[in-house]
Structure 1
């Protein structure tokens, strides 16, 4: 019995460090980190991946850190921080679609049409919910779940356990938050500009014929015109999402190269 326990403790210690990093990445990653994915499912997937990645992480004898020491606590926080930042970087591409949905809804007058969003566990407008479903389909169509698993495996070579964590990745992710809004604006500009032109037209018409009830008529026309423009823009969202995902992968690759040279 003592021999079994002596072999079990190093195995559990070797699995614990990859498990912390993978689980933290799932918390920040798109789809897998949403409320629609149960916590038990995330834990089971993280545990399976931690076992499968033992050869890449050094194996059973690759770690000499005592998990119940202060060094072990710091190493656990380090692994959780690395995983969460990697997952947050992938979440940016999904956030662009959400920001686009809110901007389009506010221009079309759909911000009042709120429905329960099972992805986030809260209420959101209809356009954002539909665009979120579209982005999830594209995420699995481009094998995003496999990309996340690949990035996790490569991260153990770039930032191995016990080697410290330079905040290069965290700084790069924080500085690239601005492109979420710029990418969403690029997609929303056609709809925003077209609805603005319609609103200006009804404003001039109201000056010419103030007796007409242009508020009720204008709301309907703006909604119909916005839906037509949204139908034209939606077909470009998958390609835009793929380009944003490639940008995130390039960002992570550059940080891994910088960490490897460092």
Structure 2
């Protein structure tokens, strides 16, 4: 009969399960891997695989008691670190989602919604288009590899069992409101152009009230809005690089990585 001592169980919990909670929390909350498109079982297997790969390179883990309240506190701390790292990436992706929703409302496509499979809610079609676009750009530019690199470095800069709720940590967390500014910057040219178009229709209606401008105004606004978005896609890569660099720098600063 196999007998395990408390020291052996505590060593296994400290060396494998505690890092696994941080990795799994990140994969459960980050975009792409943490969406409903990826089954929970697949995310769990991926967390186990990443943990096994990182295990030989991780620093020494604390010896813990598997049935101690202190162990539960350490588990909660690891889950919180992983969730906060994933939350930064969610803000970065939602900047493009909000940008698409703002344009949809401005061009009259707010009623044209479709089910977002990643979040399980209905969003405007332009917002869903921007979501797919930023997902492909993130994977094509190896953004997921940078995230995994920061995750591996976080075990050195934020060791298991060490304090992480420092003033610098919360100062960085309060700066994450840049997502709304990023969304406005992305769609500001399109909003300005659509505003000029609506003002032109208003002038035409004022000049000739008998002319039913709403008959051609709505479809023309939609068509011109799509043309404006198509023209604006020429500069989307440069804007994506700026916001992705800023988001990944936020991620490194939160993990206190180099």
**TM > 0.5 fold call:** yes
Moved more, 120-129 or 231-240: 231-240
Q: What displacement does 1:249 show?
A: 2.3
Deviations 1:40-68 (A, max 9, x none): 11111111111111123236xx3201232
Determine if contact 1:85/1:170 at 8 Å carries over to the other structure: no
Corresponding residue for residue 171 of structure 1: 170
Corresponding residue for residue 118 of structure 2: 119
Structure 1 170/237 Cα, relative in aligned 2: closer, same or farther at 3 Å? Answer: farther
Deviations 1:167-188 (A, max 9, x none): 4465245322321111111111
Q: Does 1:24 align with 2:17?
A: no
Alignment: residue pair count:
256
Q: Does 1:160 align with 2:159?
A: yes
- Identify unmatched segments of 5+ residues in structure 1: none
Partners of 1:152 and 1:198 in 2: CA distance: 47
Q: Does 1:90 align with 2:65?
A: no
Corresponding residue for residue 138 of structure 2: 139
SS in 2 for 1:2: coil
Corresponding residue for residue 207 of structure 1: 206
Structure 1 105/189 Cα, relative in aligned 2: closer, same or farther at 3 Å? Answer: same
Q: Does 1:2 align with 2:15?
A: no
Q: What displacement does 1:225 show?
A: 1.3
Corresponding residue for residue 190 of structure 1: 189
Structure 1 117/21 Cα, relative in aligned 2: closer, same or farther at 3 Å? Answer: same
Structure 1 36/170 Cα, relative in aligned 2: closer, same or farther at 3 Å? Answer: farther
Partners of 2:117 and 2:167 in 1: CA distance: 34
Q: Does 1:99 align with 2:93?
A: no
Partners of 1:118 and 1:108 in 2: CA distance: 24
Corresponding residue for residue 46 of structure 1: 47
Determine if contact 1:93/1:241 at 8 Å carries over to the other structure: no
SS in 2 for 1:236: helix
Partners of 2:45 and 2:53 in 1: CA distance: 12
Corresponding residue for residue 219 of structure 1: 218
SS in 2 for 1:53: helix
Partners of 2:14 and 2:83 in 1: CA distance: 20
Partners of 1:200 and 1:220 in 2: CA distance: 16
Structure 1 255/94 Cα, relative in aligned 2: closer, same or farther at 3 Å? Answer: closer
Deviations 1:227-250 (A, max 9, x none): 111001123223322222211222
Determine if contact 2:59/2:155 at 8 Å carries over to the other structure: no
Root-mean-square deviation (Å): 2.1
Determine if contact 1:93/1:244 at 8 Å carries over to the other structure: yes
- TM-score scaled by structure 2? 0.91
- TM-score scaled by structure 1? 0.90
Corresponding residue for residue 59 of structure 2: 58
Corresponding residue for residue 15 of structure 1: 16
Q: What displacement does 1:124 show?
A: 1.2
Moved more, 140-149 or 163-172: 163-172
